[in-house]
């Protein structure tokens, strides 16, 4: 009887079931972040991670082939011998330039590594967030390389974000600019503490700065180390605007991130032990 009724109204039943399931997932995640949500996320990530990795590698190869093609087109006007030599030179120069840039970036990463006692792991950026609402990246290292949730992620210029989801071969990193990201910050010059939030627009906002605190345009912001997720002293950004409202308890500052998060290619993950989950870094679970 019930089965017949369901079969008769299957369209409405399926629509209702999917909508309720979606709503339930959102509610559960925002309220408790249960295992079922984490499991679903990880299962989907694991299922699609080979596709993302293969695409990233293929894209690199296609880019190289395309670059070679462009190079060849420019030298085709010259005679055969010169064209061959020019193509080889062009390709070598291109490769060397790319190597030099990569070496420069990696030297920057190594400099940080040498200056710190913590262990680091380098990773390549292989993908970006599928929506325009949130700011996350996918990196080609996962739990099999020792990555865990909430590990800090940095670049040569400063803080990038924190590890948000981990699968054996791929991890998702929540960028500082993500609207639900938060990190403890400190004005380097005056040691005033605040909380650095991401927002939908490019840039960062520092809230909870005392109204009378000395904060000025051009000040450098570093991580405060409070909360235990991000170590103290990592550059976060530079103050580009300060807003003081009369009668308000706090003032707000707008930061320009130190790292150009839209052009990340390689990052370092700080493999520091015992980072407490969800204390300093923002996230849906804090809501």
- Contact stretch for another protein (CB under 8 A) within 175-183, 225-233, 234-242, 265-273: 175-183
- Residue 266 is a binding residue for another protein (CB under 8 A): no
As measured in angstroms, the least distance from the Cβ of 126 to another protein is 7
Q: How far apart are CA 274 and CA 148, in angstroms?
A: 10
- Residue 248 is a binding residue for another protein (CB under 8 A): no
Contact criterion met (CB below 8 Å) for 178 and 198: yes
- Nearer residue to another protein within complex by CB, 52 or 106: 52
- Residue 23 is a binding residue for another protein (CB under 8 A): yes
Q: How far apart are CA 184 and CA 280, in angstroms?
A: 7
Q: How far apart are CA 126 and CA 141, in angstroms?
A: 10
List 5, 6, 32, 55, residue binding another protein (CB under 8 A): 55
As measured in angstroms, the least distance from the Cβ of 220 to another protein is 24
Gyration radius of the chain over CA positions: 24
As measured in angstroms, the least distance from the Cβ of 45 to another protein is 6
* Binding residues for another protein, total number by CB under 8 A: 53
The DSSP result for 151-175, as a single string, is -EEEETTEEEEEEEEE-SS-EEEEE
Nearest to 206 by CA among 253, 245, 154: 253
How far is residue 1 CA from its own chain's centroid? 52
As given in the structure block, the two tokens for residue 256 are: 């320009």
- Residue 95 is a binding residue for another protein (CB under 8 A): no
- Residue 136 is a binding residue for another protein (CB under 8 A): yes
- Interface with another protein by CB under 8 A: which residues? 10-11, 14-15, 18-19, 21-27, 29-30, 37, 40-41, 43-45, 48, 51-52, 54-56, 59, 126-136, 138, 164, 172, 174, 178-180, 199-202, 262, 284, 287
């Amino acid at each position: 009887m019930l089965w017949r009724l369901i079969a008769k109204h299957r369209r409405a039943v399926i629509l209702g079931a999917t909508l309720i399931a979606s709503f339930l997932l959102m509610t559960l995640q925002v309220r408790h972040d249960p295992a079922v949500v984490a499991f679903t996320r990880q299962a989907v990530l694991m299922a699609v991670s080979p596709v993302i990795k293969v695409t990233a590698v293929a894209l690199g190869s296609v880019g190289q082939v395309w670059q070679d093609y462009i190079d060849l087109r420019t030298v085709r006007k010259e005679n055969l011998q010169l064209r061959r030599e020019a193509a080889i030179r062009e390709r070598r120069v291109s490769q060397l330039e790319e190597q030099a840039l990569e070496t420069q970036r990696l030297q920057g990463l190594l400099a940080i590594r040498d200056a710190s006692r913590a262990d680091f792991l380098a990773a390549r950026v292989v993908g970006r967030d599928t929506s325009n609402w949130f700011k996350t990246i996918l990196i080609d290292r996962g739990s099999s390389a020792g990555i865990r949730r909430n590990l800090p992620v940095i670049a040569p210029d400063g803080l990038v974000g924190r590890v948000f989801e981990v699968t054996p071969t791929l991890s998702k990193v929540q960028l500082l600019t993500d609207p639900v990201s938060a990190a403890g910050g400190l004005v380097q010059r005056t040691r005033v503490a605040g909380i650095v939030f991401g927002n939908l627009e490019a840039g960062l906002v520092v809230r909870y700065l005392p109204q009378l605190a000395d904060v000025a345009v051009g000040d450098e912001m570093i991580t405060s180390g409070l909360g235990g997720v991000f170590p103290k002293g990592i550059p976060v950004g530079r103050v580009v605007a300060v807003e003081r409202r009369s009668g308000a308890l706090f003032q707000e500052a707008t930061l320009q991130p130190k790292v150009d998060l839209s052009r990340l290619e390689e990052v370092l993950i700080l493999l520091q032990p015992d980072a407490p989950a969800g204390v300093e870094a923002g996230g849906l679970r804090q809501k």
